Amino acid sequence: MLECGPAPAPQDLCSHQESLSMVAAPSDGFHGSQWRSTCLLPTEEQKRDVGHPGRATLDESLGDRSPWEEELLGQIRAMSDSQRSRVLEAIQHRIEEHTQLLWKEVADPGIRELLAPLNLEPQQPVEKAFLFLVYGLILRECASSDLVRRHLMRLLELSHQTAGQREGMAVASGIASSSHLQEVWATLEHLGRTRVLRTACTSPDYQEPYADVHWRWVSSTSLLCYGHMALHAGEHILPWVDNVISRMVYYFSCSCYDNILETSFLSAAVMLVKALKQEHSTRRYRFTQIPELIQCLLAILQKEPNFLATLFRQKIILVIMELSKLRPSLKPVVKSRILQTCLQSLYMLPPMEMLKSCLPPLDLAPDVMVLYQKSMQALDLLLQTFISENKSMDEMCFLLQHTEPWLKSDKSHECKRVVQTIFLLLKYVVDYVKLTDEATPSMLGHQIGLLMLLWRDRDPVTQSHSRQCIYLLLQLLIQQKGSMGQFMHLNKMKNFEAKALRRSEMKFYNLVKALDRSLTPAQHTQLILTLLGGLCSHDHLQCDLASQLVLMIFQNQSIKVEQVAEILQGLFQELPSIVFKNILQTMMKAVTMLGTQHTQETVEVMLSLCHPSERQVLPLWKALASNNQLARKVLMLLYMKLKLRPPKELVRLSQQAELISLLALGTIYELLYTREYKATVRWAFAGILVGLLTQLHYLFELDVVEGISDYQEDSLEVKPLSPCRTCLEALKGLFWTTNYWEVFAYLQLLRGWELFEHLETYTEGVTLLARAMAHYDCEVKAVLGQAVISLKSSEERDNIVAILVITEFLNSQELTQYMSRRAMDNFLSLGLSSPNQLVRAMSLKGLTSILMDPKKVVLLRNQLAGLLDSFMGPEPQDLMGLMEILGDILHSLGTQGIGATSIRMAQHLLSLFEDEQAPVRGGAISLFGDVVHSGGKKYRPALKRQAFQALVPLLFHLVDSCPAVVMKTKLTFLRCAILLKWEFRKELFGKLAWGHGLGAENDIFIYMVESNFGSYHQFLMQALIYLGSPHKNLKRMAMKFIGGILQDYFTDLCFSLKRGDLKIFKKYLEVLKKDSDSVSRRFYQNFLEDITELSKFVRQ
C-alpha cells in the first residue's frame, strides 16, 4: 500500500538551504495523554501577523547563511568522498553512543579537522542537533547516490526514542533531499516498508523490549522527514507534493495515535504549508490529497482536551486555512467537516472565568487569555479565508449555517462566542469583500431569525452583537441591490435607534420593516418560520420576543400570497409545543391578521393541515372568528369548498378522503360546536343547510355510506365519523346549536333523522325537515332564497333539495311576506322543465297548492265537514284511513286552518286516546298534535285548553305498551308543552328523547306540574280515571303520579280540592283495596292516611 506508483523525476534538482530557525523542534516534555507539546508556539512575527487579514501568518523569511556555515560548507566541499564517508560514520557513531558530544571528547582527526575552523571553545559542548546538521550538509554535497542512500539508511536505523533524535534525522534527511530528492524518497520508502508498518499497531502503553522501543516512534520520524523534504524541495515541491501528502496521511492513519505522533504530523504539515507558500506556481497546481490531509488535522483537533495550554488549536486551524486556499477548491462536505470540528473545539471550551482553573498542574502556567484570543483569531481568519475564496452570499449562508447549533445553545458563553464570531465575519465582509453575485439564498432568512431571537439575551454583549449582525446583513443585502437610498436610511436608522429608542420596542419595529423590504419572499418565509420555532422555548423572554416579532411582521402586511401555506404549516407544527398561554394568545392575534389579509389562502391551507376531526387545527379556526366580518368570509369560503364536488367517474377510491368538499364538511361540523362561530353560523344558516342537504345526496352518489347507520349517540367510545355520518350529524347540529331545537326535536321524536340514512328515504327526510321548519318558522325567508338559487342550478341534486323545500314551505304562515305568488309561480314552472321526474312532480304539486290556488280552500273545507261526520259517528268505518285523510287535509290547508272545527276534532281525538287498538291510539295522539296547531290565532285559547286537558293522558301514554304509540305520544306531549309555553321545554325534550328510568320520569313530572302552577287538583282528578285502567302500565303510572301530587303538593290540594272531589277520590281509591294486584293494594294502604288527613282541611 506504500507504493503509490513511481515518484516523479524532477530535473536539475538544486540545493535550497534554510536556517534551522524555521524548523519546529518538538521537546520531550510532558507526554501524558491530555497534554500537547509547546513546540509549535509561534514566532514573534507570527504573533504580530495573527488577526490581520491578508497577511501570511505562517510565513517566516529565510535568513541569510551565517559566516560559520559558509566556512563549514567550504570544508565539506574540499573533502573527497572517502573522507566524507569516514566523517559520516564517525558522526553516526558519536550520535549513537552519546546524547551530547563534548569538544574535549572529539578524538577523530577528521571531525576535529572539520570543526577546528569554527573556533569553538575547548570546553563548549557540541549539540547533537549540530551534528545532524553537519550530517545532512555532507550528504547534500556528496556526488555519489549510493553513498547518500547507504549513510542515510544507517542514520535512520538509529534509535527513534527521543524527540531530538527524531528531529535531527528529519533535518539531515531534508537537507540531503535538496540535492538528492529521489534518493531520499527511495530511502524513506524502504524505511516505511521495513519499519513503519511493522510498528504501526504497537501500543504505546505496552512495556516492550529495547529493540521495539528503538523503533516505536519511527512513523513520527518519517512524518518529520517528509515535512523537511517539502521544506527543502524549493521549486521542485509541486511534482512531489501529492506523494508526500499521501505518505503523511497513510502513516498517520495506520500508526498508533499518541502525543508524539500528532506533534510530528502537525510539524510536518506546518513545514509543508510553508514550502507551498514559498512556491509561486502553487496557485496554478491542482492538488489531489488536500482533503485527506485536512481530515487528519481535524482528527488531531477533535482529540484536544477541553482546556487551553498550547497553541495547538491555533496552529491546526491556520494550517487548514492555508490548505483551503489551494486548488481545487474544497468541496462543501469537506468545508462542512472543517467548520463543525473547529467550532466545536473552540466554542465548547469552558467559560473564560473557568479556563485557567481547568488546567492540569504545570511548572509554568501559560497565559490562557492570550491562548484563547489567538485561537479565536485563527478561527476568524479561517472564516474570512473561506468567504474570500468564494465571494458570494451562498457562501456566507453556508458559513452561518454551521453556527446554528451554537446560536441555539442554552449555555450563555457558547452563544456569546458564536455571535461575536459572526459579527467579526460580517464586519470583515462589509469592510473588505465585495460579493460577486446576486444570489438570494432562502436560508439567510433562517439565520437572520436565529440572530433576532437573541435580541433579548441576558448577556448584554450577545444582545449588542446580535443586533449589529442584523444591521450588517441588511447592509450586505442593500449593497447587493445597489440601493443607495436604502443604505442611507439604514445608517440613519441604526444611529437613531442606538441613541434614542433603547427604552422601547420601537427599536425592533424599524428593523423589521427594513427586513420586510430587503428580503425575498423565500427568505422572509424562512425568517418567520425560525421565529415560530422560537415560540416553543422554555425561556419566556425569548418566546415573548419571537411572538412579538411575528405579530409585528404580520401587522406590517408584508406576507405575500405564496408565503401563507408554509407559514401556517410551520405555526401548526409549533402550536402543541408552546408552553406559555400569553404567547399562544399573541399568535392567535397574528393568525387573525393573516386571515384578514389572505382569507382564501388561509382557509385553503388550514383545510389541508389535518383532518378536521383531529381538532388540533381548531385554535386557528377560532382565531379567524375573532373578527365578525372575517368569520363570515371563512364560512362563505367553506360553503364554496363544500360545493366542489367532482363527478363519481372522476373520483378514485383512494382520493375520496382527500376531497376538498369532505374537508370543508368536517370543518363546518366542528365549527357548529365552536362558541366563537355561533353568531356566524346563525347568519349563514340557510347556506349551510342547503349545502349539507346537497352534500349528503352527493355522498350517496359516491356510494360512501359506510358507517352512517351504526352510529350510537350514547357511546363513550370516540371514533372518527364516516363522511355520511359527519354530514348527517352536522345537519342535526345546525339546528341544535342555532337554538332551533324545536325542529330538531320534531324529527328526533318522529325518528325522522333516520330517513336521511338511506337514499331511498332521503326525500322523505328532506320533506319532513322542511315541514318542521315551516311549522316553527325556522329561517323560512333565508332558506327559501337559497332554495330558489339551487332550483336554477345545473346540478340535479340541488334541484331535488330545492323543490322539496319549496313545496313544503308553501304551507308556511309567513311565506307570502317573502315572495309574491307570481314569483313563486315562475320558479315552480321552471321545475316543470327539469329532466328529473321527482322535480317535475313536486313542481306540479306546488303549483296546485292552496297558496297558488286559493279556490281550493272552500273545496277542502267542505270535504273536511263530510269526513268529520263519518269520523265522529258512533261506528266509523276505517278509522285509521279517516285520520290519515284528515291529517292530509289539515296539512294542505296550511295557514288557512280549519277554524272552530279544530276544537270538535280535538275533543273527539282526546276520547280515542284510550282506544283498545294501539294504531288507533297512536293515530289519534299524532293527529291531536296537528289539530291543536291548526285553529289559527282566533281559536288558539280554546285549543290551549284542549291541550291542557290532554296533558295527563299523554303523560301516562309515555309508558304505553306499544312503542309506536310511545313515540307519537312524546312528540304530541312536547308540542302541547310548546303551545302552552312551558318554561323548561328544551329540557323536557331532552328527557323525552334520551331519558331513561325513574330519574327521567321524575323530571318530566316536575316540568309538567311546575309549568302549570295551581293546576295540581285538576291533574289529580284527571289521573283518578286511570286507576281503573285495564292497562297495567297506565294504571301504575297513574299511581306514581297521584302519589307524587299528594306528597309534593299536599298543602296546595288542601286549598284547591272540594268535598265532592274528595268523595270521587275515595271512590276510586276504595276500588284498589280489593284489587288483585299487590301493587295497587299497597298504594291504597300507603295513601289512605293522606286522604284521611286531607279530608280535614278541604273546603265544602
pLDDT in tens, 977-1036: 999 999 889 999 999 999 888 888 999 999 999 998 888 889 989 999 998 888 888 999
CA proximity to 944, closest of 917, 981, 901: 981
Say which residue, 64 or 334, is predicted with more confidence.
Answer: 334
Q: How far apart are CA 494 and CA 1014, in angstroms?
A: 82
pLDDT, tens digit (0-9, with 9 covering 90-100), for 714-768: 565 567 888 999 999 999 999 999 999 999 999 999 999 999 999 999 999 999 9
CA proximity to 805, closest of 686, 935, 895: 686
For the chain, the average pLDDT equals 84
pLDDT of residue 715: 60
How would residue 415 be classed by pLDDT, with cut points 50, 70 and 90?
very high
Coil, strand or helix at 124: coil
Helix (H) or strand (E) holding 101: strand 101-102
Dihedral angle sign, alpha carbons of residues 34, 38, 44, 46: negative
For residue 139, give the C-alpha cell: 550528504
On the question of pLDDT at 1046 being above 80, the answer is yes
Cell 511493522 maps to which residue? 198
Contact between 393 and 435 under an 8 Å Cβ cutoff? The reply is: yes
Coil, strand or helix at 204: coil
Q: How far apart are CA 14 and CA 180, in angstroms?
A: 9
Residue type, 478: I
Query: Using alpha carbons only, what angle is made at residue 1039 by residues 1033 and 1045, rounded to the nearest 5 degrees?
Result: 135
Contact between 668 and 686 under an 8 Å Cβ cutoff? The reply is: no
Contact between 197 and 163 under an 8 Å Cβ cutoff? The reply is: no
Paired strand residues for 126: 101
pLDDT of residue 60: 37
Strand 125-126 and strand 101-102: the pairing is antiparallel
On the question of pLDDT at 1100 being above 80, the answer is no
Contact between 152 and 176 under an 8 Å Cβ cutoff? The reply is: yes
On the question of pLDDT at 490 being above 60, the answer is no
Residue type, 13: L
Q: Ranked by mean pLDDT, which of 52-61, 117-126, 534-543 comes out on top?
A: 534-543
Q: How far apart are CA 113 and CA 282, in angstroms?
A: 43
For residue 456, give the C-alpha cell: 433579548
Long-range contacts of 707-713 (CB under 8 A, 24+ apart): 708/757, 709/757, 709/758, 713/994
Spatial CB neighbours of 374, under 8 Å, sequence gap ≥ 6: 42, 47, 50, 311, 314
Rounded to 5 degrees, what are φ and ψ at 591? -65, -40
Contact between 60 and 22 under an 8 Å Cβ cutoff? The reply is: yes
Mean pLDDT of 702-719: 73
CA proximity to 373, closest of 311, 299, 441: 311
Q: How far apart are CA 340 and CA 331, in angstroms?
A: 14
pLDDT of residue 51: 35
pLDDT, tens digit (0-9, with 9 covering 90-100), for 801-824: 999 999 999 887 677 788 888 888
Q: Is the pTM of this model over 0.85?
A: no
Give how far the C-alpha of residue 225 lies from the chain's centroid of Cα atoms, to the nearest Å. 57
On the question of pLDDT at 497 being above 60, the answer is no
CA proximity to 156, closest of 76, 204, 106, 226: 226
pLDDT of residue 98: 59
- Crossing angle of helices 312-323 and 368-389, rounded to 10°: 10
Contact between 175 and 137 under an 8 Å Cβ cutoff? The reply is: yes
If phi > 0 it is left, if psi is from -120 to 50 it is alpha, else beta; for residue 878 that is left
Spatial CB neighbours of 1074, under 8 Å, sequence gap ≥ 6: none
How would residue 10 be classed by pLDDT, with cut points 50, 70 and 90?
very low
Contact between 979 and 932 under an 8 Å Cβ cutoff? The reply is: yes
Spell out the alpha helix ranges (H) of 402-505: 404-407, 412-432, 443-452, 460-481, 484-500
Peptide bond before residue 328 is cis, with ω within 30 degrees of 0: yes
Burial of 265 (0-12, 13-18, 19+ CB in 10 A): buried
Dihedral angle sign, alpha carbons of residues 934, 935, 940, 946: negative
On the question of pLDDT at 12 being above 60, the answer is no
CA proximity to 261, closest of 315, 294, 220, 200: 220
How would residue 443 be classed by pLDDT, with cut points 50, 70 and 90?
very high
> Within 10 Å of residue 942's Cβ, how many Cβ atoms?
15
For residue 682, give the C-alpha cell: 346563525
Cell 416579532 maps to which residue? 549
On the question of pLDDT at 825 being above 50, the answer is yes
Give how far the C-alpha of residue 980 lies from the chain's centroid of Cα atoms, to the nearest Å. 56
On the question of pLDDT at 936 being above 90, the answer is no
Spatial CB neighbours of 647, under 8 Å, sequence gap ≥ 6: none
pLDDT of residue 939: 84
CA proximity to 662, closest of 711, 720, 621: 720
How would residue 566 be classed by pLDDT, with cut points 50, 70 and 90?
very high
pLDDT of residue 765: 96
Contact between 284 and 341 under an 8 Å Cβ cutoff? The reply is: no
On the question of pLDDT at 685 being above 90, the answer is yes
pLDDT, tens digit (0-9, with 9 covering 90-100), for 173-185: 999 999 999 999 9
On the question of pLDDT at 459 being above 70, the answer is yes
Contact between 701 and 797 under an 8 Å Cβ cutoff? The reply is: yes
CA proximity to 434, closest of 391, 396, 394, 380: 391
Paired strand residues for 101: 126
Give how far the C-alpha of residue 845 lies from the chain's centroid of Cα atoms, to the nearest Å. 57
pLDDT, tens digit (0-9, with 9 covering 90-100), for 954-971: 999 999 999 999 999 999
For residue 995, give the C-alpha cell: 331519558
Q: How far apart are CA 317 and CA 323, in angstroms?
A: 10
Which of 121-130, 402-411, 573-582 comes out lowest in average pLDDT? Answer: 121-130
How would residue 18 be classed by pLDDT, with cut points 50, 70 and 90?
very low
How would residue 96 be classed by pLDDT, with cut points 50, 70 and 90?
confident
Residue 723 exposure: Cα atoms within 13 Å on the Cβ side: 22
CA proximity to 799, closest of 769, 830, 823, 776: 830
Q: Residue length, the chain?
A: 1100
